[in-house]
Chain A
Amino acid sequence: MKKKYLAIPYVVWMAIFVIVPLCLVVGYSLVNPEGQLTLENFKALTQYWTVFATSFRLAIIATAVCLLIGYPIAYWISREGPGVKRIAMIAMMLPMWMNFLLRTYAWMSLLENTGIINTLLANLGVFKLINAVFGTELTYFPMINTPGAVVLGMVYNYLPFMILPIYTVIDKIDTRVIEAAEDLGANGVQVFRKIIFPLSLPGVLSGITMVFIPSVSTFAISKLLGGGMTLLLGDLIEMQFYGNAYNPYLGSAISLVMMVIVLICMAVMNHFGEGEEGAVYF
């Protein structure tokens, strides 16, 4: 009974910084600048469906790439001894000690047309070779200010959030379960497909959630690496608050719709995930 009191600061914190702001967002999205109740804000945001589409498309790509890269890494780390595990964890956490904006700025100077990668390739004679073979006139690879660069920025920044939960889950799988499968004649592929992968699904699901949500709402990455050429939902919302017209009402409506869509996606996915898990146990 006493232990419950320990949660009070957290509950107060949640109430002040999560529940109240959420109520404000809902409240703002339902009124117009004159303070009257209206659904105009939601009607107005239908014209921005392309921005929604772009944001979700890029976030889905980034999440998929994170999963494809992150899962094997998480699996590999969890199979290694404690020494390698520790080093791998440090290597992953170390960059996160730096602010993510700074790291994104660093990517700018890597990817620019006169940036480090292109300069290196030019000095190695790569462009001369390509030009000689294909008869082109390349002097650099255009990398920055493309949607690809935005996805790269998302993957780079959010990859640890995919690896960590998957690693934690795989690491906790009881080795006896795997041994049992092997004793019963399963080969390596079968063990992975029938035992490890299904058991790691909760980690995959939380990884997807933790990558997808910040990706879909980011605005700094698209501004820095996308050169302002790719408008994402985060940019659109920021514009409502810091743009010309100062329209926090529309901004709140966009945020609310985004949250609802994300919630629906997550619910659908969790449902699907539960089904998989169930199949393992019964």
Chain B
Amino acid sequence: MKKVFLFALSLTLLLSLTACGGGSSTTNGEVNVYNWGEYIDEDLLEEFEEETGIKVNYTTYSDNESMYSTLKNGSAEYDVIIPSDYMISRLIEEDMLETIDFDNVPNFANIDDDYKNLDYDPTNEYSVPYMWGVVGIVYNTTMVDYTPTSWDVLWDEDLSGQILMFDNSRDAIGIALKSLGYSYNTTDEAEIIEAVDKLIEQKPLVQAYVMDQIFDKMEAGEAAVGPYYAGDAITMISENPDLAFVFPEEGSNYYVDAMCIPKGAANKENAEAFINFMCEPEVMAANAEEIYYSTPSSAAKELLEDELKDSDIAYPAQEVMDKAEVYVNLPQTVLDLYDEEWIRLKAA
């Protein structure tokens, strides 16, 4: 009897081990997509499966950095990832991306020239733009009695305890840098330290450092003001009409998220098929209407509902774009400094 029990136990253990091992291996008919959370119309995945017969394994991450760690650890295999601009240049520098065979992605022609050959991938060999947007300030018109025009609203003592701030170092330190008149991409140690000093000054006024929690807090009127991404701001405004969104006059961050194929992807051709599918104008339009981010294709933009197409949050005026700055990848020493300084702020 004991032997049977022992046998059963070791069998379960063995099975669970092989199950773990089996999870990462893939067959031919699959594509493993790794995307930001809440960043796709999931119906499109089914549509893609029906159209091509390729099975989509869809998983999500919360920010560029955790995506990077997962790739770096090699703990899982992905075929398509959708990082942001600065992360793409970091991945290219570290030789972690495959070049895309554009013969397999004819729909790349639907992407506007403005979004091709951008700084993060100057020869456009590694990436196909997915969505873009600009960072701005979401505020509650019933709680802020003026129209903010500058990042300074995040330092307004009258709003003490009502201010939300980004809970990631790049975006938060970036805002402080910008409000001091420096570049988002400065590598000057003194400027970064000055920016963090400014954030420490802000800390007593801050209600919380948040990422996705900002949705609940702004929609419920828990907080008065906080910086966030334009597409998500449209989502929040549609939930709570008291909310509004502005682009600060000091300039802001313009970001592009693009689809890439990690080095050593097992299903490269399926990945290209997926990327190609995601560049069909109808697909891009359906996706943009679901997540409210801005599409890099004017063909797709034409298909959008008027309200979204004419939205000056999703498609800001030229003067906003002129002042907006794209993140570039920072050298390792500066990244280390960012982490140290971020902890200095958090532990203050």
Contacts and interface: CB of A to CB of B under 8 A. Distances in A.
B6 A244 contact: no
B346 interface: yes
Contacts of A223: 167
B339 A5 contact: no
Contacts of A243: 65, 169, 339, 342
Contacts of B332: 245
B343 A244 contact: no
A231 interface: yes
Contacts of A54: 347
A140 to B, nearest CB: 10
Contact of A239 (B68, B213, B217, B342): B342
Contacts of A48: 343, 347
Given A6-B5, A8-B6, A244 B338 contact: yes
Interface residues of A, number: 37
Q: DSSP majority for the B interface?
A: helix
A43 B32 CA distance: 41
Contacts of B63: 242
Interface in B48-67: 63, 65-66
B221 A114 contact: yes
- Residue of A48, A112, A224, A246 with highest tally of chain B CB at under 10 A: A246
Contacts, number: 90
Contacts of B209: 227-229
B347 A50 contact: yes
B9 interface: yes
Contacts of A224: 213
A127 B6 CA distance: 64
Nearest to A235: B346
A145 B163 CA distance: 12
B76 interface: no
A235 B10 CA distance: 37
Contacts of A9: 6, 9-10, 13
A247 interface: yes
B339 A228 contact: no
B220 interface: yes
B222 A112 contact: yes
B198 interface: no
Interface string A126-147: 0000000000000000101100
Given A13-B13, A50-B347, A239-B343, A244 B169 contact: yes
B207 A145 contact: yes
A25 to B, nearest CB: 14
B100 interface: no
Given A12-B13, A112-B220, A228 B210 contact: yes
Contacts of B167: 223, 228
Given A8-B10, A51-B343, A54-B347, A245 B222 contact: no
Given A145-B208, A228-B208, A245-B332, A239 B339 contact: yes
A113 interface: yes
Nearest to A113: B222
A142 B208 CA distance: 12
A241 interface: yes
A245 B208 contact: no
A236 interface: yes
A229 B65 contact: no
A13 B6 CA distance: 14
Please give me the 9 A-B residue pairs with the lowest Cβ-Cβ distance, nearest first: A227-B208, A228-B209, A231-B346, A242-B66, A245-B339, A245-B335, A244-B335, A9-B9, A145-B208
